Amino acid sequence: MVPCPTNVGRVPYQRIRTEAKTISIDYSAAAWPIRDDFAAAHARFWQRLAKAGSWWTAAERIAIAREVRDSPSCSLCVERKRALSPNSVSGEHRRATNLPRAAIEVIHRVTTDPGRLTRAWFDGVIGSELSVEQYVEIIGTLVAIKSIDSFCRAVGLPLNRLPDAEDGVPSGYRPNAAKLEDAWVPMIPADANTGAESDLWTIGRTGNVIRAMSLVPDEVRTLGDLGAAHYLPNAMVMDPTAHSPHLDRQQMELIAARVSALNQCFY
């Protein structure tokens, strides 16, 4: 177990093995049998987290993950969460990293109080410190960490130690087809995922929640990979008879709906 000094988690970290830059995550010590596909999908994301992305370096991506873990103990976030309106509370976030101020605001708000984000808030954080491409990669990284950490906590496992950053520079890749429609962020139209993006979804058949991350195509790939283990492969989601190995679909959707309601999500 290797506790990280910036961690504020209540449990020590799960041990991970790093060999020749391949990362494996092992849940075999859990008190219950954990399906192998959970550990495999989590390890694939950890592997990706250790490398430069499209708009952030590996060190910055890992810093995003640290902020996700640290934000629940930020006193500004705690106060804002309690307030009738988050805008009524001002102050400085308790930061765990040297990420730009706008990035810290995004990570803390989306992690701790996602149900009250507004267009005005989004417009306020995008600017000279943070591009919309960087924003989308932050969201993709944040939600992957949130779901993996949430899973570990839910089954009583310690959190996985964050990987060490590998060298490399962000690719700066932006898909040509991405354009602004009626979401806050540009997205690839449902029928325009051709060429390098042809694997993201079956052309013409996807939901906005999948397209939402498509300004950074690797975030869509991670979304599908983690979703296949945690929930269902994207192609099976709209089939109401599809279900996980040990729950029926009604049980799954009841959990999904309750989590969404608690997070005040309209979607």
Distance of CA 201 to the CA centre of its chain: 19
Q: How far is the CB of 168 from other proteins (least distance, A)?
A: 25
**88 near other proteins (CB under 8 A):** no
* Residue closer to other proteins, measured from CB, 22 or 208: 208
C-alpha distances out from residue 148 to 43, 48, 69, 84, 211, Å: 10, 14, 11, 30, 21
DSSP tag of 13: P
From the list 153, 165, 203, 235, which residue makes contact with other proteins (rule: CB under 8 A)? 153
Tokens for 32, please give them: 């219950």
From the list 49, 63, 104, 142, which residue makes contact with other proteins (rule: CB under 8 A)? 142
**118 near other proteins (CB under 8 A):** yes
- CA dist 211 and 239 (Å) reads 19
**122 near other proteins (CB under 8 A):** yes
DSSP tag of 176: T
Terminal alpha carbon distance of the chain: 38
**126 near other proteins (CB under 8 A):** no
Give the sign of the dihedral formed by CA 79, CA 82, CA 86, CA 87: negative
Span near other proteins by CB under 8 A; candidates 50-58, 159-167, 168-176, 179-187: 179-187
From the list 59, 177, 184, 235, which residue makes contact with other proteins (rule: CB under 8 A)? 184
Span near other proteins by CB under 8 A; candidates 90-98, 118-126, 160-168, 170-178: 118-126
CA torsion angle 216 135 72 34 (round to 10) = 0
- Reduced 3-state DSSP string for 22-36: EEEECCCCCCCCCCH
**84 near other proteins (CB under 8 A):** no
**213 near other proteins (CB under 8 A):** yes
Span near other proteins by CB under 8 A; candidates 50-58, 88-96, 104-112, 158-166: 104-112
Q: How far is the CB of 195 from other proteins (least distance, A)?
A: 23
Tell me how many residues contact other proteins (CB under 8 A): 77
* Residue closer to other proteins, measured from CB, 168 or 204: 204
